[in-house]
Amino acid sequence: MARPDVKKRDGRGAAFVIFGPETNFNGFLKFRDTLCIRGKFRGTIEATGALIVDKGAEVEADHISVSSLVVYGTVNAAVQAMDKVDMMSGAVLRGDVSAARLRIADGVTFEGQCSMTGLDREVEIFSRTREEIQAELSAPREKAAPSGEPFSGEHRE
């Protein structure tokens, strides 16, 4: 069983674990805090915490599900992040990504599709033509009385 090299705290006081460069882990990872991989991982990651794949690290997974992902190294996996995915310069990510926020720096190799989550699926801004929207905006509007009835300009008691 692989043992993490170090358990530390980040600047906010939250705990995080580091799998060092000599760590080679195969299997299923589940964690709540932040995990930084500096070695090699192969398997599945399902976590409520954040994952950092450091420069020189290699992660190959059938899927990764985390709160957020920061990639400096290499990831071959389908990724689902509840919050964000950051691909830093020099990173390689091969696989589809689903996240609420995505940042891809210059010098990143990204091969896959991206799906942005957290958007209101009820709103489809391209479902109507420009002419339909213009007609709606230029049409005269009825004023509404406080009761919700059409306002005719006369006050009724």
**Predicted TM-score (pTM) above 0.75:** no
Q: What's the rounded Cα separation, in Å, for the pair 108 and 95?
A: 13
Please report the pLDDT score of residue 154 as a whole number.
Answer: 47
Average pLDDT along the chain: 81
Contacts of residue 41, Cβ cutoff 8 Å, sequence gap at least 6: 19, 25, 26, 29, 57, 58, 59, 60, 61
Q: Does the pLDDT at position 114 exceed 80?
A: yes
Collapsing DSSP to helix, strand or coil, 51 comes out as: strand
Q: What is the dihedral of CA 40, 41, 42, 43, to 10 degrees?
A: 180
Collapsing DSSP to helix, strand or coil, 7 comes out as: strand
Mean pLDDT for 110-138 is: 69
**Residues 122/128, Cβ–Cβ less than 8 Å:** no
Q: Dump pLDDT digits (tens) for 44-57.
A: 999 999 999 999 99
More confident residue, 84 or 118: 84
Q: How many CB atoms lie within 10 A of CB 50?
A: 23
Mean pLDDT for 11-33 is: 84
Q: Does the pLDDT at position 1 exceed 60?
A: no
Q: How confident is the model at residue 141 (pLDDT cuts 50, 70, 90)?
A: low
Q: What's the rounded Cα separation, in Å, for the pair 61 and 57?
A: 13
Q: Does the pLDDT at position 68 exceed 70?
A: yes
Please report the pLDDT score of residue 95 as a whole number.
Answer: 97
Q: Does the pLDDT at position 73 exceed 60?
A: yes
